[in-house]
């Protein structure tokens, strides 16, 4: 099976944009970068706002259970690219709108997401530098569901089949198509959910981003649902 995206084993800094107009940013090539090691009681996760907070790990079943859980969270961090502190964390329960997570809720936010108790979402990193590009292919209506797979194939063709995304089905039946990038300033990718460089490239290939149908993430002021939660199968 092809590996999702590609990370280098060394840290990279955001580079000035020297590409020609109308071209996509570079995608990662090479082995996936391994995140910092996990301790026996979990893994450090970026907290709300500034600073960091440790993920709460239930310890009722002893050290072995916490080590297994820590390894699971390590894999989750690798999959989601949570290597920079998001500007804000959000929580959504079934049938309710998104809302900002409190500091008390943050201790079990990711744990609850993976246990399908609620959904967790994040804004773009507070430093404005991202390491992924996510395309949200909605499928809320029957017409959108019928065209979902065709839109996904168009995205893969435009970006290039050699770049392998992490694809996760959303609770509404849509797709989140997540590509790994070297550290890149968000403004170099897009200036909104349907505008900016990536949107212009997609539009030039006949796949224009449209609000509620095809949108670009991460965003500074709208939460992106983390993968692998309730009703979110990996495709």
Half-sphere exposure at residue 47, Cβ-oriented, CA atoms within 13 angstroms: 13
Instruction: Provide the token pair at 27.
Output: 């995608």
Higher pLDDT, 21 or 144: 144
210 strand-pairing partners: 214
Rg (CA), the chain: 18
Please state, in angstroms and rounded to a whole number, the distance separating the CA atoms of residues 155 and 196. 16
Q: Percentage of the chain with pLDDT > 90?
A: 37
What angle do helix axes 197-204 and 142-159 make, rounded to 10 degrees? 100
Please state, in angstroms and rounded to a whole number, the distance separating the CA atoms of residues 228 and 110. 10
Q: Dump pLDDT digits (tens) for 60-78.
A: 445 565 666 667 666 776 6
The pLDDT assigned to 167 comes to 92
The pLDDT assigned to 210 comes to 92
Please state, in angstroms and rounded to a whole number, the distance separating the CA atoms of residues 137 and 151. 8
Strand order in the sheet with 129-137: 166-169, 175-185, 129-137, 214-217
Instruction: Provide the token pair at 209.
Output: 């981003």
Is the whole model's pTM more than 0.85, yes or no?
no
Residue 133 confidence (pLDDT) above 90: yes
């Amino acid at each position: 099976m092809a590996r999702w995206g590609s990370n280098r084993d060394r840290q990279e800094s955001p580079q000035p944009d020297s590409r020609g107009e109308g071209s996509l940013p570079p995608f990662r090539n090479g082995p996936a970068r391994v995140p910092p090691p996990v301790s026996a009681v979990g893994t450090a996760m970026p907290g709300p706002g500034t600073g960091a907070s440790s993920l709460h790990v239930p310890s009722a079943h002893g050290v072995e259970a916490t080590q297994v859980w820590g390894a699971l969270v390590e894999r989750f961090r690798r999959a989601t690219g949570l290597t920079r502190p998001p500007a804000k964390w959000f929580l959504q329960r079934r049938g309710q709108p998104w809302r900002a997570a409190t500091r008390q809720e943050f201790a079990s936010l990711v744990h609850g997401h993976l246990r399908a108790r609620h959904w967790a979402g994040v804004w773009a990193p507070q430093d404005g530098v991202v390491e992924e590009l996510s395309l949200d292919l909605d499928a809320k209506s029957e017409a959108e569901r019928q065209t979902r797979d065709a839109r996904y194939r168009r995205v893969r063709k435009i970006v290039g089949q050699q770049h392998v995304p992490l694809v996760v089905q959303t609770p509404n039946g849509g797709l989140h198509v997540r590509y790994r990038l070297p550290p890149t300033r968000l403004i170099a990718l897009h200036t909104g959910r349907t505008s900016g460089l990536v949107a212009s490239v997609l539009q030039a290939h006949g796949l224009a981003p449209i609000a509620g149908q095809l949108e670009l993430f991460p965003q500074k002021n709208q939460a992106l649902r983390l993968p692998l939660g309730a009703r979110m199968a990996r495709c």
